[in-house]
Amino acid sequence: MAEQARQRRAAPWAPPVLSGDRLEAGLRNLEIDVRRRLDGLLQGNHLGLVPGPGSEAGEARPYQPGDDVRRMDWAVTARMTQPHIRETIADRELETWVGMDLSPSLDFGTAVCAKRDLAICALAAVTHLTRGGGNRIGAVVATGQRTDRYPARGGLAHARGLLRKVAETPLAPEGTRGDLAEVLEALRRPPRRRGLVVVVSDFLGEVNWLRALRGLSNRHELLAVEILDPRDVELPDVGSVVLADPESGRQREVHTTPLLRKEFAAAAAAHRTEVASALRTVGAGHLVLRTDSDWIADMVRFVMARKRRWSGA
């Protein structure tokens, strides 16, 4: 913990402390970060983070390779004798649901913060960037021991209260196994108004949630936020070390030989590739946030990349 505190001081982009008597101050600082740094960089346009091209007709522009031919404007194409597509504007009233996986595997972090803190940062970004204009946001939060449901409502008071309640969610005891598929099913049933579904998880473990995610994709726009720590993808060269699985309670002492480190990195890369492929299959946006990286900069890069794809740039 002392090392993590030192790293926080050395990294101005580190998430604030979101526990104990520093929770309220941390949530206020987080709101300021989202509004000033993130919303400012995105020019106040929360639609870059959210449901993609939208549904209301906008301006027409020349067709570019990679554009969706279903958006072709044949009337303009006939007049201009050059293929044109019709840009679309996202609806102004949006209902967002966030599925938060706060299982014990997220109560861990070796960089500037725990993965759980970064997950709450992701929730704060989605909450504050989609707030206003009649928009509503709700959440399903699961730790493996309990599942809390917060109805979708609008307004600043609800947004702040939602963040506080999620941040105050008690940690599940070690040995509790999370179930992401169950979280996704809780988002599917009962059927909700069409909108945006954001899934925040480290996506560790068996990929048994694809069917539930595909069911959500039939009705909603999807955004998956993958929370990672450096130790999720590689082992340090530290000699003998005890590895523990927080969701099963099992421990094993290993010696981090070059061969073991190589095999661990290969297995972690294979799993991440499987997760990315599954998310791509259902058409979900895939944002990766790491505890050793500037989460706001990573989010901005993700949003800008999505906007370039939508515009055909």
| pLDDT tens-place string over residues 142-160 | 999 999 999 999 999 999 9
For the beta carbon of residue 131, count every other beta carbon within 10 angstroms. 20
With residue 241 as reference, give the H or E element that holds it.
strand 240-244
As a whole number of angstroms, the distance between CA 168 and CA 171 comes to 9
As a whole number of angstroms, the distance between CA 264 and CA 253 comes to 14
In this prediction, residue 12 has a pLDDT band, given cuts at 50, 70 and 90, of: confident
Alpha-carbon torsion, ordered 120, 121, 126, 127, to 10 deg:
70
| Whole-number pLDDT of residue 42 | 55
Q: Are 259 and 248 in contact (CB under 8 A)?
A: no
In this prediction, residue 310 has a pLDDT band, given cuts at 50, 70 and 90, of: low
284 pLDDT above the threshold of 80: yes
Select from 121, 115, 161, 156 the least CA-distant residue to 26: 121
Sign for the pseudo-dihedral over CA of 275, 276, 279, 280 = negative
As a whole number of angstroms, the distance between CA 115 and CA 105 comes to 8
Across the strands, what pairs with 99? 140, 199
pLDDT digits 0-9 by tens, 188-217:
887 777 888 999 999 998 999 999 999 999
Select from 313, 298, 277 the least CA-distant residue to 49: 298
| Six token digits for residue 304 | 């800008």
Q: Most confidently modeled of 50-59, 90-99, 205-214, 240-249?
A: 205-214
274 pLDDT above the threshold of 80: yes
**Mean pLDDT, residues 12-40 taken together:** 83
Give the C-alpha distances (Å, rounded to integers) separating 288 from 126, 132, 142, 272: 14, 26, 20, 11
| DSSP code string of 172-207 | PPTTPPP-HHHHHHHHHSS---SSEEEEEE---S--
With residue 103 as reference, give the H or E element that holds it.
none
For the beta carbon of residue 150, count every other beta carbon within 10 angstroms. 18
311 pLDDT above the threshold of 70: no
Strand spans (E) along 10-110: 56-62, 84-89, 95-101
Q: Name residue, tokens 């949003």.
A: 303
**Mean pLDDT, residues 295-310 taken together:** 81
pTM (predicted TM-score): 0.81
